[in-house]
């Protein structure tokens, strides 16, 4: 995971974008600290004509808040499940809109 803060000129407050490779999985709205995870990652985040700085975020925290939980996939990859929204950052959820990670947390 990589976090980027937009530094493109203009009169606005820059958001922080959280990418998994080239896919945008979440963003942190300017002035806040909570990431908003998309139900389906946005593929091919377009950086053309924009400038960004890399931001250090603690993206390895297993429980990010009361709703977000980090889980490990069957091949060792780390994903984030939002227990309230019922979403996950895994590729299966992005493709089907459902996954075992969400189902497993529902039964706990």
Residue-wise pLDDT tens digits, 80-101: 887 777 788 888 887 788 889 8
Per-residue model confidence (pLDDT) at position 95: 78
Q: What percent of the chain is modeled with pLDDT above 90?
A: 0
The token pair at 77 is 């990859």
Phi and psi of 103, rounded to 5°?
Answer: -60, -45
Alpha helices in the chain (DSSP H): 91-96, 100-106
């Amino acid at each position: 995971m990589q976090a980027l803060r937009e530094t493109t000129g203009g009169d606005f407050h820059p958001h922080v974008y959280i990418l998994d490779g080239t896919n945008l999985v979440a963003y942190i709205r300017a002035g806040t600290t909570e990431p908003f995870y998309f139900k389906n990652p946005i593929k091919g985040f377009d950086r053309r004509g924009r400038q960004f700085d890399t931001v250090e975020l603690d993206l390895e925290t297993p429980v990010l808040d009361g709703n977000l939980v980090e889980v490990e996939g069957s091949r060792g990859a780390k994903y984030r499940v939002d227990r309230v929204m019922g979403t996950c950052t895994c590729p299966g959820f992005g493709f089907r809109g459902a996954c075992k990670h969400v189902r497993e947390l529902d039964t706990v």
